[in-house]
């Protein structure tokens, strides 16, 4: 197991209403049950996609910093 | 001070990313961060965030999940990719805890997230899942006894906020002084 961390501190929040967050929580509960029914391969694919999103954001931020 | 890690469950991360007045997620994260904690997102949590991001029919939830993933490093959240052996062991441990009757099969993903957090050497697991909070005593013992893992304390964001608020209130003459940290 290898831990990954990227030292960037630009913390950006998402504007939300109470209703929107409650809806997100409800869907998150559904997804928790869905994920437990997925095959190992499907879960691995999801995880790889999540890592790609994180890497993409890191790359975009690095490009943005270099541009300034 | 040695590095201490708190695992954050999916809904806690969503709550940190989208702060609303009645949610304690942001405050719990800030208080733990101020107390020198680092944070971890177990593989199950990452998988769920990605699954949420793909729910494009729920536009806000999808965007929120994407924002969480993109913002994880800024929130001091580390993450890990488990190899096949670690995934096998996590599944075996989850099955054994289910067989012991601590939680039912329905909560396998909750158990996986918990066991992964223990694997990632987390001291705390911060969750809003009521079934985990209700069964935390049995779960903490199962992690030690069934899984042979080190201790992992399960708390809600509200409990974390309550604990630190108590520390900040000056003790009265009637109340014994309580100072400390996790």
What pLDDT, in 10s, does the model give residues B21-31?
778 999 999 99
Find the helix or strand (DSSP H, E) in which B137 lies.
helix B136-145
Residue of A28, A36, A48 to mutate when probing chain B, most B C-beta within 10 A: A28
Distance from CA of B131 to the nearest CA of A (A): 12
The predicted pLDDT at position B125 comes to: 97
Ramachandran bin of A64, using left for φ above 0, alpha for ψ from -120 to 50, beta for the remaining angles:
alpha
With H, G, I as helix, E, B as strand and everything else as coil, classify residue B134. Answer: helix
Nearest chain A residue to B113 by CA: give it. A32
Nearest C-alpha neighbor of B79 from the set A28, A12, A52: A52
Beta-strand runs (E) in B13-170: 37-41, 77-81, 124-126, 153-155
Distance (Å) from the C-alpha of residue A36 to the closest C-alpha of chain B?
5
Cβ pair A3:B120 closer than 8 A: yes
Average pLDDT over all residues of chain B: 90
Banded pLDDT at A8 (limits 50, 70, 90):
very low
- Which pLDDT belongs to residue B50? 97
Which of A6, A28, A58 is opposite residue B14, by nearest beta carbon?
A28
Tell me: the pLDDT tens digits for A13-41?
888 889 999 999 999 999 999 998 999 99
Which one of A4, A8, A23, A27 makes the best mutation probe of the B interface by having the most chain B beta carbons within 10 Å? A27
CA distances, B108 to each of A38, A44, B144 (Å): 11, 17, 18
pLDDT-based confidence at A1, cuts 50/70/90? low
Q: Which residues of A touch B106 (CB under 8 A)?
A: 33, 36
Q: Is B62 exposed, middle or buried (0-12, 13-18, 19+ CB in 10 A)?
A: middle
Chain A, nearest residue to B57 by Cα: A27
> d(Cα B115, Cα B98) in Å, to the nearest integer?
12
- Residues B114-133 have pLDDT tens digits of 999 999 999 999 999 999 99
């Amino acid at each position: 197991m290898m831990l990954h961390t990227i030292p960037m501190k630009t913390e950006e929040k998402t504007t939300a209403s109470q209703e929107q967050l409650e809806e997100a929580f409800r869907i998150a509960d559904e997804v928790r049950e869905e994920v437990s029914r997925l095959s190992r391969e499907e879960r691995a694919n999801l995880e790889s996609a999540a890592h790609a999103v994180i890497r993409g954001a890191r790359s975009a931020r690095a490009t943005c910093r270099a541009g300034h | 001070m040695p590095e201490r890690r708190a695992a954050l469950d999916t809904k806690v991360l969503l709550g940190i990313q989208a702060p609303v007045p009645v949610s304690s997620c942001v405050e719990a994260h800030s208080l733990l961060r101020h107390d020198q904690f680092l944070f971890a997102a177990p593989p199950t949590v990452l998988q769920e965030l990605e699954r949420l991001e793909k729910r494009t029919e729920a536009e806000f939830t999808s965007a929120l999940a994407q924002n969480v993933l993109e913002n994880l490093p800024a929130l001091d959240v580390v993450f890990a990719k488990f190899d096949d052996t670690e995934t096998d062991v996590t599944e075996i441990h989850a099955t054994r805890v289910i067989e012991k009757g601590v939680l039912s099969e329905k909560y396998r993903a909750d158990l996986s997230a918990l066991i992964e957090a223990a694997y990632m050497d987390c001291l705390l697991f911060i969750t809003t899942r009521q079934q985990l909070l209700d069964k935390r005593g049995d779960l903490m013992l199962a992690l030690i006894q069934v899984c042979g893992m080190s201790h992992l304390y399960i708390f809600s964001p509200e409990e974390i906020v309550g604990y630190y608020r108590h520390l900040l209130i000056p003790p009265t003459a009637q109340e014994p002084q309580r100072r400390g940290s996790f």
